[in-house]
Amino acid sequence: MWPVSARWDPALRHTYRPAYLATVIPPVGTPFPARLLSWSVAADRTSQTRRTAQMVLAPETRRALDGVTVLGGYIQLDVGIDYGDGSVELIPQGLFRLDSEDTQRPDGGISVQGYGREKVVIDDAFLVPRTERNSSTLDLITTLLRESVPDAIVVRRTRRDAVVRATTWERDRWEAIDGTDVSLARAVGVEVWADGRGRFVISDVPTLADPPVWTVDAGPGGVLVSASASTSTDGVYNVVVATGDASNGSIPVGPIIVQDQTPTSPTRVTGPFGRRVRHYSSPLLTTPDQASTAAHSLLANSLGLAAGLSFTAVPNAALEPGDVVRVDSKDGPPELHIIDKISLSSSGAMQCDTRSTKADDEGI
């Protein structure tokens, strides 16, 4: 969750005036504010490009290389609260590369679509197969990011690291960084994403052991509008078998087996759910401890997909996918949920898709 003042949460629970700021960052010239007619942002931690945005700018907004353009132009969007006493608190929602623009006629404004900075890295594929070795996985991730985004700020929110032995990636730069079995991030149990300011963050995979950052509650003074629960076993596994690929002649690692053994978990291996196994092999796994860390992170990302919750609530622009929230719907005991996706817009309530890794969260 983005840091906020002590005034933030009480204001969300009462009447407040929303505040928006769109700053156009052209490839030529200086940044300038643009008047927003409407906007929407989706932030999804299950997508390679975490943030996408749709905005309609006022028709008088300057265009071309010193204004709104898809030829290297960006927009920084900030959303927050006008407290009505002359003070405004804004939360960054994303630094978006503009990939499309369309003039709505007559005088309907300029419709633009933008993507978070992961998209810059994704588009910058390797020209030839790339072989790398490094004493630090995090250092190599930083190098690969800054080759595509030279001015990138990389924030490390993890202590996990490991030596990278010689590994080759064919074309996909983001495949080397995150999101696949041969990625650097997966091998050390972290994830890489661009935050609301366009900084690249390297963080641990979220779990329900993380403290909740916000309470989503119903009733007077509450923020919950509606909620719906769902269950599905699609993509759920409760056993991970991790091995180090020894195809380069090195000593093989593993198999290292981790299982869901939490007594209250509906997907525990000793329960009626049964055993559902995910095999994970990577040349980047060089020690049993590293294989165990990667396997536990994969398991944490899978469990709970069977217990999803979608809810609409008063918009909280400070929330981030991966945050843990406490949901109290008054229809049952409070539950802890990890947010996977957040949808915000200028025209309605916030929509969140979440998951929980427990059968219940009684006593929290």
Beta 88-104 vs 74-82: how paired, if at all? Answer: antiparallel
Q: Does 248 score more than 70 pLDDT?
A: no
Q: Does 72 score more than 90 pLDDT?
A: yes
pLDDT in tens, 158-188: 998 998 888 889 999 999 999 788 899 988 9
Listed residue (351, 350, 340, 263) closest to 304, CA to CA: 340
Listed residue (267, 289, 157) closest to 210, CA to CA: 157
- CA trace torsion 158, 172, 113, 343 (10° rounding): -40
Residue 362's pLDDT is: 37
Token representation of residue 164: 């990278």
Please say whether the structural domain 8-115 has been given the CATH code 3.10.580.
no
Domain ranges of the chain: 8-115, 120-204, 214-231+307-355, 239-302
Residue 360's pLDDT is: 39
Confidence band, pLDDT 50/70/90 cuts, at residue 246: low
Residue 55 and residue 75 in contact, taking contact as beta carbons nearer than 8 Å? yes
Give the chain's mean pLDDT.
89
d(CA 343, CA 94): 13
Proportion of the chain above pLDDT 70, given as a percent = 94
pLDDT in tens, 197-219: 999 999 998 888 889 999 999 88
Give the CATH number of domain 120-204: 3.55.50.10
Q: Does 341 score more than 80 pLDDT?
A: yes
pTM, entire model: 0.85
Higher model confidence: residue 248 or residue 185? 185
